[in-house]
Amino acid sequence: MFSKILIANRGEIAVRIIKTARRMGIATVVVYSEADADSLAAEMADETVFIGPAPAAQSYLVADKIIAACRETGAQAVHPGFGFLSEKAEFAQRCADEGIVFIGPNPHAIEAMGDKIESKKFAAAAGVSCVPGHIGEIQDVAHAVRISEEIGYPVMLKASAGGGGKGIRVAWGRKDVEEGFPAVRAEAKGAFGDDRIFIEKFIESPRHIEIQVLGDKHGHVVHLFERECSIQRRNQKVIEEAPSPLLDEATRAAMGAQAVALAQAVGYDSAGTVEFVAGQDKSFYFLEMNTRLQVEHPVTELITGLDLVEQMIRVAAGEPLGFEQKDLKINGWSIESRIYAEDPYRKFLPSIGRLVRYDPPVEGAADGYVVRNDAGVREGDEISMFYDPMISKLATWAPTRGAAIAGMGRALEDFHIEGLNHNVPFLAAVMDQERFKSGQLATSYIADEFPDGFAGLEPTPFQADVMTAAATYMHRTLAARARRVGNGLSGPLSRTEWVVAVGKAKRPVKLSDLEDGLTVELPGEERTLRLSTIDWRPGLPLFRGELDGAAFTVAVEPAGEGFVIRHRAAKARVLVLTPLSAELHDRLPEKKKADTSRLVISPMPGLVVSMDAAAGQTMREGEVVCVIEAMKMQNIIRAEREGVVKAVNAKAGDSVAADEVLVEFA
């Protein structure tokens, strides 16, 4: 076994590998760029080596720097994590040539399966069912249009070296190919240093199901069952689970056998994933093989009890697998939610900045479920524009799928982040949807369920009750404190009758104290709410309690008047008013929203790649105004109206902030 390994990665996966290495008694070395000098991974590692500027192309993707760091520290092996150099066959070969063990598959397996074009050729030759498409490189836009029309729309434009949802576009017609091909090629070049593109048929309403495989250097290969990864946006996985609600035992066995056969055919000797696109009828086609550890590996670990990082290290050290296929069983169900620094209210655009508050749920056993949170950040850390915007991976396990979903919903309630936008409310919305609970999933799920984007949800009756009870308790607590500070000058606390406004909905309430909480009587509804087991004091951003015995957590912010309260995906301004004040509020005129229809505003912070608008130019609705790049993704900004450009406030190469005015129309 190794005594020291080097981790050629950053963020949560570097932290994840350090934890397993520590448990195995292995010392760790972490390489870091300028952006990661103060990272959690750098703090946790036994040794660190600086490898250059923040852009990955100048640091984490430079093989010479990784090899030099191994030489400098005496590391015997390199774990590449995922992304960066993890699927570069030439890097694995370079390690072998230098006498350094690559903790991953052999170079031949990476070369055969890691390249999406070559892997499809290999799979076709091996008799594996593949998605219809053009297995070969696309030369230019005209070639891409010709191939797309031969296959038939819709098609997918995909980077050969792609991964993590980068370098992929769905084209529904000729215009999409003409605009999308250059963007995909540019993304591929920037993210992977490889601009080769291929095209395949896009199967409508498909499911994304992958099989985890594990092989050793003695010819043994097993599969660790499947993961369902159909909840995606921009081809980036958002929610994963294991096992899949689609598969029956026969389909699971067939997919597993095909994945194992494919892995054996290339002499696979590490952890890897064979990905399939599956129809709702349980038909499935080989999509690609990821010759590395997957981001979503925690759900597999939770249902099998295996540590995949440990297995990779042991296999790399030459140990045979300690189990056979017949020894492996599925235990319970696991869900994973990726917590991203992005704004779901703005079409999931990246949101960079500092984690002013970062308070994840407590890990370990909870009420009927288990919580796990894989993160590489701490409160005060900054989410950089140079890397993936993932903050952490929140996973829950329970004996059943329903219990795992319910546990995830509660865990998301307890996740508190401030300082940047995040997707926790969106993830919570999905957990509450009947379609998700039923298991009727597809890669089009987000587009199907949120066709106009995500704008939050209206409070359910239970959520309105929660907001009402929490607001009245907080109002009384703050009034009591003001009374103490003001020597009784703030008025009596004897009032029991109030009006609570949750958004625009008002309801009269009558309050009475309990030993451990508050009773909220709803005279107009002839029922009473019992608020108990309260965990809140002035200044805390989370209010925890039980309403009629049901545990809940809400995020609270003081407003100019009242509170802004969020429970899962529902957010509302809540006021606790006297009856007279409630009457007066009804007479207040509504504030009109500012007219921004003549402005093109940057939806996110990023870099202006190109500016296509010029002063005096007439632009049509839908025409490209500019391209903004952030988090390795290029975003096309289009004109939302027809008109003459009055002013252009940014040019190619400029860094812009969110909400910055880029173009003004006359």
- List, by residue number, the catalytic residues: 288
First to last CA, the chain: 70
Is the C-alpha dihedral spanning 438, 441, 444, 446 positive or negative?
Answer: positive
Where residue 420 falls (left for φ over 0; alpha for ψ -120 to 50; beta otherwise) is beta
Quote the DSSP letter at residue 250. H
- Alpha-carbon distance of 308 to 314, in angstroms, equals 10
Selection from 270, 262, 289, 257 nearest residue 217 by Cα: 270
Q: How many residues does the chain have?
A: 666
Selection from 181, 157, 183 nearest residue 170 by Cα: 157
What residues have CB less than 8 Å from 452, skipping those under 6 apart? none
Burial (CB < 10 A; 0-12, 13-18, 19+), residue 609, is middle
- Alpha-carbon distance of 648 to 650, in angstroms, equals 6
Cβ neighbours, 10 Å, residue 510: 13
The answer to whether 227 and 212 are in contact (CB under 8 A) is: yes
What residues have CB less than 8 Å from 201, skipping those under 6 apart? 131, 132, 133, 151, 152, 154, 155, 156
What residues have CB less than 8 Å from 427, skipping those under 6 apart? 238, 239, 337, 339, 408, 412
- Alpha-carbon distance of 167 to 235, in angstroms, equals 9
